[in-house]
């Protein structure tokens, strides 16, 4: 269950109610909640703005939970 479906179920919302709250079409809400399609940037913005969800929750594929390891700098010999 993805974050959008979990939110919908926890709040006791129908797909239509979630669509009305978010400003995303009912068909798109269904697709996003069921994992049939990933929300586009506009839909993500609406979910964030109107439902208080965060980008990493909605699109974890684009925002990994843990930051990548920082690269190490190669050691450089000093020449005098």
**Per-residue pLDDT reduced to its tens digit, 10-34:** 999 999 999 999 999 999 999 999 9
What's 38's DSSP letter?
-
pLDDT band, residue 76 (cuts 50/70/90): low
What's 22's DSSP letter?
H
Q: Tens digits of per-residue pLDDT, 38-56? A: 999 999 999 999 999 999 9
pLDDT band, residue 63 (cuts 50/70/90): confident
58: Cα within 13 Å, side-chain hemisphere:
21
Residue with more model confidence, 70 or 8: 8
């Amino acid at each position: 269950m993805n974050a959008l479906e979990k939110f919908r179920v926890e709040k006791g919302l129908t797909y239509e109610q979630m669509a009305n709250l978010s400003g995303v079409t009912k068909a798109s809400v269904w697709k996003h909640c069921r994992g049939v399609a990933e929300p586009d940037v506009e839909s993500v913005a609406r979910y964030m703005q109107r439902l208080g969800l965060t980008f990493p929750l909605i699109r974890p594929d684009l925002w990994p939970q843990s930051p990548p390891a920082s690269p190490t700098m190669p050691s450089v010999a000093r020449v005098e």
